[in-house]
């Protein structure tokens, strides 16, 4: 009977030493897993940061593109108004010259000459007002051009930031 106890005792000793080695190996494996999980969490945090930054930049880019489009449309409207004022002014000058010819024409009747002189007088009264409108429209055009340049510069800056972020993301393997 003493032999089976020796066998059991040897088995338990070998098993205990094997358990000690297994625990050390398992502990190293567990530490490696913990380190990998920590690295994955860090990578996920970094990726989430990039994603949030990209979303904010893209939103700001969209808003700025809409602002540039709105300011550009305003500039086009101001230019159209200025062109209409200038065309009206040219028409008035042309009409005034036409009536001046009639007023100076010796073959025209006195009634026609008088009517022509009244028209010339009326147009001369209107021309300063049209010139003032033209000046205001030119000032508005310059202001709108300056505003468009400023908004376009902001848009260009945001596009540069998006490009830098893209390069950063392409250079970062996360």
pLDDT digits (tens, 9 = 90+) for 19-52: 445 578 888 989 999 999 999 999 889 888 888 8
| pLDDT per residue as tens digits for the range 69-105 | 999 999 999 999 999 999 999 999 999 999 999 999 8
Buried b (16+ CB within 10 A) or exposed e, 76-98: eebeebbeebeeebeebeeebee
109 SS3 class: coil
pLDDT more than 70, % of the chain? 86
How much is the pTM?
0.68
Q: State residue 107 phi and psi, 5-degree precision.
A: -85, -15
């Amino acid at each position: 009977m003493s032999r089976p106890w020796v066998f059991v005792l040897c088995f338990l000793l070998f098993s205990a030493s094997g358990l000690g080695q297994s625990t050390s190996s398992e502990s190293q494996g567990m530490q490696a897993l913990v380190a990998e999980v920590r690295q994955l969490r860090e990578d996920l945090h970094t990726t989430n940061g990039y994603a949030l930054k990209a979303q904010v930049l893209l939103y700001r880019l969209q808003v700025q593109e809409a602002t540039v489009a709105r300011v550009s449309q305003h500039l086009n409207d101001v230019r159209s108004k200025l062109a209409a004022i200038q065309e009206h002014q040219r028409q008035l000058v042309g009409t005034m010259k036409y009536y001046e010819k009639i007023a100076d024409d010796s073959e025209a009747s006195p009634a026609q000459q008088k009517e022509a002189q009244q028209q010339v007088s009326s147009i001369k009264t209107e021309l300063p007002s049209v010139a003032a409108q033209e000046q205001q429209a030119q000032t508005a055009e310059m202001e709108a051009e300056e505003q468009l340049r400023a908004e376009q510069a902001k848009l260009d800056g945001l596009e540069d930031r998006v490009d830098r972020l893209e390069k950063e993301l392409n250079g970062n393997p996360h």
